[in-house]
Amino acid sequence: MTTPTFRSDITVELVKHNAADTDVLFAARVSTGTKTLVGETGDLAKRDLGLINYLMRDKHGSPFEHNSMTFRIEAPIFVIREWMRHRSGWSYNEESGRYTELKPVFYIPSLDRKLVQEGKPGRYTFVKGTAAQHEIVSRVMEYAYQEAYEAYQVLLDAGIAREVARSTLPVGLFSSMYATCNARSLMHFLGLRTADERATFPSFPQREIEMAAEQMERFWAQLMPATHTAFNTHGRVAP
């Protein structure tokens, strides 16, 4: 039997991109033929920055769609299932348990992951767990994962098809996917999947998907700094 491995991190890699602040400007000015004023250093002119802010503030969203970013994500299945609720402006391809034997890599919350929910639905908060609670989470999860993967292997060894045998596996199993989006769809994702004090409409994301969102935002901020700044200035609401 293969021995399971356990991890607490979620990884996001920027695979390729065609995304820059100038994409927003060219798209916005196509109807008038007005020039985008990019200096020799690549910096945007004040008028260009003003246009990006105007578009963001007044919710003229389509100019933010003329770009593309593709990410490779490794995350537990429960994160990927939540992620795929974002449909507009997103494309996905995920690792298939029908065509490949799934590796025994499973999610265990790290020690800084808050474990205890307090309050009623819609008005609850999470607080840090005790050392004993963290210990039981790790111990019970590791046991459950190992039993589930052993069951999966027993079925495979008996000649059962992978697409049937995978039913024994839990949502804490790591999967991988390619996810492609544009800046507008990413902003909508970030508005819902990050908790940020600058947000006009506070969000309360599950921590695991927020871990991925934070990594994506760092990549995007490097590619489109003016757009990212305008997003934060105007309450982290997608136009």
Mind listing the pLDDT tens digit of every residue in the chain (239 residues)? 678 999 999 999 999 999 999 999 999 998 777 776 665 556 788 889 999 999 999 999 999 999 999 999 999 999 999 999 999 999 999 999 999 999 999 999 999 999 998 887 777 788 899 999 999 999 999 999 999 999 999 999 999 999 999 999 999 999 999 999 999 999 999 999 999 999 999 898 999 999 999 999 999 999 999 999 999 999 999 99
Catalytic residues: 193
Amino acid identity of residue 163, one-letter, is E
> According to the model, what pLDDT value does residue 39 have?
58
Residue with tokens 């307090």: 118
pTM over the 0.95 mark:
no
> According to the model, what pLDDT value does residue 26 have?
92
Positive or negative CA dihedral for 126, 128, 133, 138? Answer: positive
> According to the model, what pLDDT value does residue 145 have?
98
> According to the model, what pLDDT value does residue 42 have?
62
Both tokens of residue 55? Answer: 């578009």
Q: Which candidate, 189, 199, 237, places its Cα nearest to that of 71? A: 189
> According to the model, what pLDDT value does residue 1 have?
63
Both tokens of residue 112? Answer: 């800084």
112-171 confidence digits (pLDDT tens)? 999 998 887 777 788 899 999 999 999 999 999 999 999 999 999 999 999 999 999 999
> According to the model, what pLDDT value does residue 120 have?
79
Distance CA 206, CA 115 (A): 11
Both tokens of residue 87? Answer: 């449909």
